[in-house]
A = this chain, B = another copy of it.
């Protein structure tokens, strides 16, 4: 076949070349056109060239490995610049550490170390006291993109894609050539395994460079070390800000953070290379008290463990439904609808099938496209209970307020945990925290802290559904100034948290929430409720201020009234004073403050 077509296309090839030549060669190339600009920079006229035929094009078609794709598009993963690369690496490591501890029911002790090896080179280490990783899984988890346990389930966790930590390792490899180092131990009495591995971007497969048993003290846990080109900066987008915020949103975790030692920048000068240099650097860091910052846990209670759920029928699209019918283990439609979806009882399954006009004892794999479409339609018309809510663990109103009080000095706080809602069949839940007044600036736009599954979002505020929801809320009706379509202006801080079994991020780097209408709506409702509360507070404050003004005004005249009465009625001074006291009492009773 392919030979035949190659022969066949040889003829066309000549024809197409003829056309190509006519197109590119017959007329003078465009370089000669008059430039309208002053400098008239026009590109050099390209040489006429033979153009491609269908078979030329076919020869160039190739598979693209997902590692190659992301290596070239690394900004999609949060590695656009050195400062962000350092933050992303820390973030991916900490996400995994917290997830692992929580899944194993261990109160997380996470340690983040950043060692500066030269001006633009850092070694990041993230260590947890989690359950450790089974030896055979280590290479794939750290050396293969799109591999993990969190993608194929509907359950709230920080990681969800199976990309993050391998991508950080890949970025380290690309910029420094150094492998990722992993030390892990799954329990007391078990050996600690040490790996060094790199990702082969061509094949998206791990290559193990070192695999041996080492001496390591912790009874269980994992330590990942990645060396990368980066930049350590301060400010809103810094690692320091991230660590502070992650501690806030995870009050059950203890975070130890060792930022780069300031002295290591100047004196060392060149990057310490080779084993001696590394050992020396580690030794210099050894009396680690210096610079170590501890964020102790605020509560010993772990967040409630979240359940894994089946997809909710309302969010399943026709194509997915057809796929589920093909893949199900159930023998009939009724069983499939009941077993593979959440909130579908046998009775409800029968109701759906009846409405669709498909027998409920049909074999799911034999359901046609047309029948599936009718079932899909019937599902939308059937009343089905909202998905179960124990799959989502909110931070909770009390802890949210605690976190806000810790971060912000204000007069008034409001927090709200909304009921779970659903987008595309995925349950999610919005929490809103609000702080108003106090030391906050009244002249600047408000600050918005964004969180998703307890992870702070620091970049791409403009692209985030949270920002859209805040800007789209009518804050003027809640007594705040607001330029059209922008963040309100006033002494306020907002904290929004979305918890979901699947958070829809606008990019793989997980920096902003996508604009699903259901999500934006829930956020707005939460903001409106908090807005109403703050409006009551602001109005009361204003009323109080008005009252105080009026009262002060009346109080000012009470002595004059008394003196007037004294003159008219011939009061003694004592009677005059008693009139002042009585009038003041009346004022106090009538205008409560």
A151 pairs with B319, CB closer than 8 A: no
Tell me whether A53 and B131 are in contact (CB under 8 A).
Answer: yes
A58 touches B174 (CB 8 A): no
A110 vs chain B, min Cβ distance (A): 16
Tell yes or no: A29 within 8 A of B by CB: yes
Tally chain A residues at the interface, Cβ within 8 Å.
150
Partner of A64, one of B51, B152, B323: B152
Interface 1/0 per residue, A151-172 and B, CB below 8 Å: 1110000000110000000000
Give the residue of B39, B58, B398 whose beta carbon is less than 8 angstroms from that of A34: B398
Given the contacts A54-B132, A62-B148, A318-B177, A72 and B106 also touching, CB distance less than 8 Å: no
CB-defined contacts of A36 to chain B, threshold 8 Å: 397-398, 400-401, 413, 415
Interface status of A543 (Cβ within 8 A of chain B): no
Enumerate chain B residues within 8 angstroms of A280, measured Cβ to Cβ: none
| Residue pair A147, B64 in contact (C-beta under 8 Å) | yes
Please state if A38 and B508 are interface contacts (CB–CB under 8 Å). Answer: no
A276 close to B (CB within 8 Å)? no
Would you list the 6 A-B pairs with minimal beta carbon distance, nearest first? Answer: A20-B105, A12-B187, A51-B105, A174-B319, A60-B149, A58-B134
Interface residues of A in 101-128 (CB under 8 A from B): 103-107
User: Given A76-B508, A152-B62 in contact, is the A100-B57 Cβ separation under 8 Å?
Assistant: yes
Measured CB to CB, the residues of A under 8 A from B are 1-2, 5, 8-9, 11-12, 15-16, 19-24, 27, 29-31, 33-47, 49, 51-55, 57-58, 60-66, 68-69, 71-73, 75-76, 80-81, 100, 103-107, 131-137, 140-141, 144, 146-149, 151-153, 161-162, 173-178, 186-190, 201, 220, 229, 273, 300-307, 317-320, 322-323, 369-370, 372-373, 389-390, 392-394, 396-401, 413-420, 429, 460, 462-463, 502, 504-508, 514-517, 533
- Closest Cβ of chain B to A28, distance in Å, is 9
A385 to chain B, nearest CB (A): 14
Contact (A177, B369) CB under 8 Å given A15-B187, A63-B147, A514-B75: yes
How far is the CB of A81 from the nearest CB of chain B, in Å?
7
Q: List 13 A-B contacts (CB under 8 A).
A: A8-B186, A39-B416, A43-B393, A44-B390, A51-B103, A52-B103, A62-B152, A63-B144, A73-B504, A73-B505, A76-B506, A80-B515, A176-B318
Instruction: Say whether B64 contacts A307, CB under 8 Å.
Output: no
Question: A84 to nearest B CB, angstroms?
Answer: 10
Q: Which of A43, A107, A144, A273 neighbours the largest number of chain B CB atoms within 10 Å of its CB?
A: A43
Task: Report the bound CA distance from A416 to B318 in whole Å.
Answer: 49
Given A75-B514, A220-B12, A24:B305 Cβ within 8 A: yes
Per the bound structure, the CA–CA distance linking A47 and B306 in Å amounts to 10
B-side contacts of A15, CB under 8 Å: 187-188
CA distance A29 to B372 in the complex (A): 42
Contact B417 A37 (CB under 8 A): yes
A323 and B54 CA atoms in complex are apart in Å by 31
Assuming the A-B contacts A273-B370, A369-B177, are A104 and B52 also in contact, with contact meaning beta carbons closer than 8 angstroms in the complex? yes
Would A69 and B174 count as touching, CB distance under 8 A?
no
Q: B72 contacts A414, CB within 8 Å?
A: no
Most buried by B among A45, A64, A173: A64
Q: How far is the CB of A368 from chain B (nearest CB, A)?
A: 10
A37 and B514 contacting across the interface, CB-CB below 8 Å: no
CB neighbours of A19 from chain B (8 A): 104-106
